[in-house]
Structure 1
Amino acid sequence: MALAKRPAAPYDGLKKHDLPLHSQTWQSAPRMRPATIFRKRRLFVALVALVVVYLFIKYLPTDVPSVSQRIDSRTGRSQGRPVVPDLASKKSGDETAGGTLSAKQLYDGPVKFYRLASSLRPHLYNEKEDRDSVLFMLYDLQTAASFTGVACEMALYNKTNVHMGLMTTRDASIEDIMSVSGLKVEDCPIFWHDARPDYNSKSSPARQAVVIKAAVSHMHTTLKPSVVIIDQRQASNTHFKTALQEKLDSVRTPLSIIPNDAHTSMSWITTLDGKGLSLLNQNQIDIIIQPYKQSAGSLIRLLESIKSAHYTGLPLPRITVELPHTIDPFALRYLENFHWPHDSPISQSKLILRRRIDNNKLTPAIATLRTLESFYPPTTPASHVLVLSPDVELSPSYLQYLYYLTLTYKYGNPGLQITSSLTGISLDLPEHTLDNKTPFLTGKEPQSALTLHQSPSAHAALYFGDHWVELQSYASLRLSNDPSLSLTVPNSIESTISPAHPSWLQLSSELLQLRNNYILYPAFADIPGKKLITIHTESTQSPEEFWTEPTRPTPDSIPLLEDSDTSILTGDHEHPDLHANMLPEPTSSTQSVQSLLNLKGRETLPDSKDIPLFSAAGHATDWDMSRTESEAYADKVSLELGGCRSLGERDDEIIGRLEYLFC
């Protein structure tokens, strides 16, 4: 049997104590004890937790309302104690001694509105509301009292849904704002929207601009307001006004600026609807004056009444004076020192002087063209012309009255008959029609404060820009067929027009009847103290186209003192009609539009459907009868003035244009 091999013995030269305890060729790495590993991991987790807690506490918003706080559907605020949205309003070491923050202390982070959504949500799906929405923006608490008062009064008239966007940089509850105004939330039916963000007063200027634009964007998307309203004090804040205007321009929403004291100086704006309010600052009125020869006193009196009128919150009108060839030296001297506006440099003057070069006597046709060519609206929808006789003196409230009626009847309630048929607004109520014989209003006295008449005003009337352009087009067609304006429709009011009135009124009267249009007259002008103008007849003259050299009385025509019991002598032989044309003294300078509204037992303007209609001949009529008479009159104009056949024999598609009247 073979013997098993024995392992080789170690090298005999090495001693036992020379060998290592463990061989380095196969020994594994040393291991850490489990208790040590657990302690280090626990320390790391604790450090991470501390960092998370620190960051959470540092950036934790303090203005988030608790779940238990209920939200009011109108104000969007909690019904309990108001939640302060402004972190910086609390006492903090970040504030300087003066209450302002340095650039490093301003917050420029993301914007969050914690209250805005709750008040906007109820209006999210109200797209079929029958009234326009108007948005007031409150940015300055110093105007809160008067500004909120205007909004509340507007809401009480119930013509619009009134919303108030609260964007003040200082913290104040809605209840506090209302109490300053002397009002209660329940007595003021406006919708409040708290659009103040987090870190409100700590926001940097750049963040504030973002806040304004973002808040307006949210409110515009939900509310779809017809107009955004601020007051002049807030408009003077360039930062706020610029950001607001930029955003409104991008969403094509108009901005209307009202006076700081609008609740007293322009309280009539609270009765306007959204469409009228949107055009409050966008209308422009031009004044045309054509003084007579040797009429310096009349011209000076008229211009002084214009200068002393009330223009708070309204664009100043531009004045054009069409001087005759021979200028009164007293009038010229006055005009050299007349500034309009009165406190502006000449580079910003709104006074235009024009002098007629031709010294020949004006013909009716030339005089008509001269008047109609004196104005052309730069923007047809919002530019209008006020034609004034030099014999008138204006009430201080004349412009506010014109704006009020224009924004109410011309632009308000679109779709109504009066909106499309209204040519202009008169400032006086004549006693007679253009023939100076027929009573202006026949029959029962109208109970309404206003009346519609198809005869133009000879003294003071505002003509809307679109109708003035149409009158120019009609004059062009009319003069092409009748260059001397000698033809008239038989048995019409124009056939007996008095030479005391300008010749262009003949064409205006014709066009009113052709188009079935009307002029709005103040029926309240017959009430003492309610006149918008005063007509001075002591130095009146005929228009230049009808002017004749006055004849002096002969000695035989001068009345002699008779031997009778009469102890009083009169001056009737110098001006027989003077006693018949005497009018009350000019209206008081304290008269306001609000005093004019208290008419016929009413405090507001009448509804358009309640305004009575009168024909050019002064007879009461209605819309159906007026339409029939207008069609018959158009047929006569086409036959007598246009040289055409009867309209009934012509194609329907051409009827309705002015061109179809002239062949």
Structure 2
Amino acid sequence: MRSFFLSDEELGKKDDDHNTKPFPNNGGVRPSKWNPAARVPPRRSLKRIALVLLVAAGVYLFFKNIPVLGPHQGMRRPNYVYPDSSSTLHKRPSNGEPARIVTNSHVSNTPERTYNGPVKFHDLAASLHAIAGTRGGSMVNRNILFAASSLKSAATLLPIACQMAAELKNYVHFALLSRSDIDVEELRSVNGIDDSCQIIFHDARPDYALVSTEDRMENAVFRSLYHINTYMHPQAIMIDGSDEEEGFFARAVRQHVKGTRTTLVELPLKSAKSLEWMSRLDSASLRLWDKNHIDILIQATPGASGGLIRLLRSLSAADYTSSSVPHLTIDLPHDVDPPTKQFLETFTWPPSHVYNPTNARYLSLRHRIPHQRLTEEESSARFLESFWPAQPEHSHILVLSPQVEVSPNFFHYLKYSLLEYRYSTMAAFQLWDRRLFGISLEQPLRQLNGESFSPPTLKNPDSENPAGEEMSTPFLWQAPTSNAVLFLGEKWMELHDFVSRSLEAKEGLETVPELLSEKMIGKHHPSWLEHALRLCRVRGYWLLYPGQDTARNLATVHNELSRLPEEYAGEERSKSLLTDGASDEEIDNVRQKLRLESEITLAPRVSLLESLSNDGNLRPIGDLPILTWDGRTTDLDVSNSLAAAYESEFKEKVGSCDVEAPEELIRVREKLSAQDLFCATV
């Protein structure tokens, strides 16, 4: 043992000492001949061989256990290998006994759920170590987690997860946190999940799940989600929100999302079809699923009780499973019709079919005190004051006219469009939110001044006609509408500031400029829309309008009971459009007006994706036609030029700004403000 630890130099000195030692048989001289073959190999060679073998084994094990990430781990999906089902480490016997043998005498072989020992996850580490390619260590990524404890809930979630994975926008994970001892491969097979479904499965079940107490299972779910969050940081967690799910699972998930502030999406019962569009969203949109809120604002007009009642009934029949209950505000005039009073006495909001465990009332009625007719300025200020977003980036307002009737799917379309065009990764990258003013539910048949309007169309790529068949398409129009439109909270706050400064500038000017006095919008629209049009023109904002095929499944505007806004109610319309002895030209003009009074009727109810073109995917804003405020087709460069020219004119004539001032003296544009347009106001 001593020689094993000696150096080469010490070993050489020891051999010399042996050579000079006298031998008694030959007079003290060492024999000159000896057999080298009989010499034992030095022990230092054995040591080196052992070290080489040890290093080789370590290198082999290191390379064998490295996760396969691929050449571009930021772009490709992870190469996930399922654990070997034949291994005793991952196999779960059908009798429900734990896979590992332990010597705890207090563990019973009976199915009673009494075990409350330490929690271990034998199958979770392998799958979590294999997802490094999803960049789960980053707080912002593309990971979406579906989780279930009940096998019925798993059967509900797996088809939605497969649809989302097929879109190739997210890394879709599925975690099983169940008592069941079903094998993961069997779970896939039973639910028709083959290799074409790009889902990454995680077996997050603890040991002894079958005999564990409720508290232990709840603790296990909470701890497994903690480990999953460490390796994955999912942007949203999808679970079954119906009664099919286990109680311990739901409690633990809700505790987890409170601690991590992860978005939780609880899918209602039988919502797989109605929320099918959810699978088309990316992780950036889904992360804000429950962060946005939409309020509804209705400005009632005198004598329009029939239209208002029809609108409220259609709102009550709509589907709101995609979001929290919207708050409804009805702005009533001074004189309220008796039918309206009677209907509002029994009207409840939210409707009875909407889940409302607190029985809270989300309805506000505002009644005007002054009896005299309001001016345009007073009416505009009163209506805009009806809403103020608490969080400009996440609070939005849906304005509805009493002439409108909405479809059951209208709220799904708003949520889908809002998440895609305002919060998606593409929207943030291409700055769509900077130009988007609102999202309309109707496709107008007339321009703002009442003239005829022809919506743009696109060539149908599936048409067999070589010349191409035209099809309806969504489009961007600089003209706002007051019938059925969702205004973004940020733009609504900017409109507030714009109207306030415009009214102040109008009082301070000796002569009101034509930009403020000229009416570009007909009196069948309320007066506040004139201010919205000016803001859109000066900023170059657009509104998103649906194609005709989609609009039929969202909303329609009824003109047979239309009434003028209250500020224009004193201006009587002609009782007869045609008079005796009318000329041919007058007859043609009346016929044209009557034709324009036609409306888009609501189609029978279909799913939202079936009503959308482009296979249910929303077209990118950059691919949509652009129209000027007066209905002319244009492009982005011309639209920017027109906005710059109108802004310069507005600043000079209304804002009293020196357009030729040095650049350092020009006011910088501020978010949520129109201060840069008005130089004479503070």
Query: Are 2:325 and 1:316 equivalent residues in the alignment?
Result: yes
Q: 1:193 to 1:646 in 2, by over 3 A?
A: same
Q: 1:365 to 1:242 in 2, by over 3 A?
A: same
Q: 1:449 to 1:257 in 2, by over 3 A?
A: farther
Question: Which of 248, 251, 254 is 1:245 aligned to?
Answer: 254
Alignment partners' CA distance in 2, 1:549 and 1:608:
40
Alignment partners' CA distance in 1, 2:165 and 2:405:
36
Alignment partners' CA distance in 2, 1:345 and 1:216:
27
SS in 1 for 2:242: helix
Query: Are 2:210 and 1:201 equivalent residues in the alignment?
Result: yes
Alignment partners' CA distance in 1, 2:641 and 2:307:
42
Give the conservation status (yes or no) of the 8 Å contact 2:456–2:473: no
Q: 1:108 to 1:79 in 2, by over 3 A?
A: closer
Query: Are 2:381 and 1:369 equivalent residues in the alignment?
Result: yes
Give the conservation status (yes or no) of the 8 Å contact 2:147–2:238: yes
Quote the sequence identity (%).
30
Give the conservation status (yes or no) of the 8 Å contact 1:305–1:395: yes
SS in 2 for 1:501: coil
Deviation at 1:136, TM superposition (A): 0.9
Alignment partners' CA distance in 2, 1:544 and 1:480:
23
Alignment partners' CA distance in 2, 1:238 and 1:528:
40
Structure 2 residue aligned with 1:580: 596
SS in 2 for 1:482: helix
Structure 2 residue aligned with 1:635: 648
Structure 2 residue aligned with 1:622: 635
Q: 1:220 to 1:486 in 2, by over 3 A?
A: farther
Deviation at 1:419, TM superposition (A): 2.9
Q: 1:170 to 1:542 in 2, by over 3 A?
A: same
Letter paired with 1:244: V
SS in 2 for 1:310: coil
Question: Which of 299, 302, 307 is 1:293 aligned to?
Answer: 302
Question: Which of 375, 378, 383 is 2:395 aligned to?
Answer: 383
Structure 2 residue aligned with 1:434: 448
Alignment partners' CA distance in 2, 1:148 and 1:470:
43
Higher Rg: 1
Give the conservation status (yes or no) of the 8 Å contact 1:425–1:462: yes
TM-score, normalisation: structure 2: 0.76
Question: Which of 536, 547, 551 is 1:512 aligned to?
Answer: 536
Alignment partners' CA distance in 1, 2:86 and 2:517:
71
Query: Are 2:603 and 1:594 equivalent residues in the alignment?
Result: no
Give the conservation status (yes or no) of the 8 Å contact 1:322–1:355: yes
Question: Which of 75, 85, 90 is 2:97 aligned to?
Answer: 90
Structure 2 residue aligned with 1:355: 367
Residue segments in structure 1 that go unaligned for 5+ positions in a row: 1-66, 561-570
Deviations 1:85-143 (A, max 9, x none): 489823999366xx543xxxx22222221111111112236439996110111121111
Query: Are 2:160 and 1:136 equivalent residues in the alignment?
Result: no
Letter paired with 1:469: M
SS in 1 for 2:393: helix
Q: 1:458 to 1:551 in 2, by over 3 A?
A: closer
Alignment partners' CA distance in 2, 1:486 and 1:439:
37
Deviation at 1:576, TM superposition (A): 8.7
Deviations 1:417-466 (A, max 9, x none): 31332121001122333222263657988867321111111311001112
Q: How does 1:257-276 map to 2 (within 5 A)?
A: 257-276=266-285
Give the conservation status (yes or no) of the 8 Å contact 2:303–2:563: no
Question: Which of 652, 655, 658 is 2:668 aligned to?
Answer: 655
Letter paired with 1:426: S
* More off after superposition, 292-301 vs 252-261: 252-261
Deviation at 1:309, TM superposition (A): 1.4
Alignment partners' CA distance in 1, 2:642 and 2:211:
70
Structure 2 residue aligned with 1:254: 263
Alignment partners' CA distance in 1, 2:573 and 2:597:
21
Give the conservation status (yes or no) of the 8 Å contact 2:241–2:267: yes
Alignment partners' CA distance in 2, 1:585 and 1:422:
27
Quote the RMSD (CA, aligned, Å). Answer: 3.6
Give the conservation status (yes or no) of the 8 Å contact 1:311–1:400: yes
Give the conservation status (yes or no) of the 8 Å contact 1:340–1:350: yes
Structure 1 residue aligned with 2:44: none
Alignment partners' CA distance in 1, 2:520 and 2:638:
23
Question: Which of 88, 108, 115 is 1:107 aligned to?
Answer: 115
Query: Are 2:416 and 1:392 equivalent residues in the alignment?
Result: no
Give the conservation status (yes or no) of the 8 Å contact 1:392–1:459: yes
Deviations 1:588-612 (A, max 9, x none): 2x23212212x2x643221232122
Structure 1 residue aligned with 2:159: 149
Give the conservation status (yes or no) of the 8 Å contact 1:300–1:334: yes
Q: How does 1:148-547 map to 2 (within 5 A)?
A: 148-184=158-194, 186-233=195-242, 237-343=246-352, 348-413=360-425, 414-437=428-451, 439=453, 441=455, 449-483=473-507, 490=514, 495-522=519-546, 524-525=547-548, 527=549, 530-547=552-569
Residue segments in structure 2 that go unaligned for 5+ positions in a row: 1-63, 69-77, 99-105, 460-469, 582-586
Alignment partners' CA distance in 1, 2:97 and 2:482:
67
Alignment partners' CA distance in 1, 2:259 and 2:284:
19
Structure 2 residue aligned with 1:603: 616
Give the conservation status (yes or no) of the 8 Å contact 1:157–1:270: yes
Give the conservation status (yes or no) of the 8 Å contact 2:445–2:596: no
Deviation at 1:168, TM superposition (A): 1.1
Alignment partners' CA distance in 1, 2:666 and 2:87:
69
TM-score, normalisation: structure 1: 0.78
* More off after superposition, 429-438 vs 229-238: 229-238
Deviation at 1:516, TM superposition (A): 2.3
SS in 2 for 1:456: coil
Structure 2 residue aligned with 1:74: 80
Give the conservation status (yes or no) of the 8 Å contact 2:476–2:624: yes
Q: 1:644 to 1:491 in 2, by over 3 A?
A: closer
SS in 1 for 2:173: strand
Alignment partners' CA distance in 2, 1:181 and 1:411:
33
Give the conservation status (yes or no) of the 8 Å contact 1:364–1:485: no
Alignment partners' CA distance in 2, 1:484 and 1:298:
40
Alignment partners' CA distance in 1, 2:359 and 2:550:
42
SS in 2 for 1:78: coil
Deviation at 1:321, TM superposition (A): 0.9
Give the conservation status (yes or no) of the 8 Å contact 2:307–2:402: yes
Alignment partners' CA distance in 1, 2:307 and 2:578:
29
Alignment partners' CA distance in 2, 1:613 and 1:326:
41
Alignment partners' CA distance in 1, 2:337 and 2:536:
35
SS in 1 for 2:556: strand
Deviation at 1:652, TM superposition (A): 6.3
Alignment partners' CA distance in 2, 1:537 and 1:109:
70
Deviations 1:163-184 (A, max 9, x none): 1111112121222222332232
Alignment partners' CA distance in 2, 1:401 and 1:148:
24
Alignment partners' CA distance in 2, 1:400 and 1:210:
36
Alignment partners' CA distance in 1, 2:664 and 2:117:
69
How many residues are paired up? 573
SS in 1 for 2:491: helix
Alignment partners' CA distance in 1, 2:431 and 2:660:
24
Alignment partners' CA distance in 2, 1:372 and 1:149:
44
Letter paired with 2:319: H
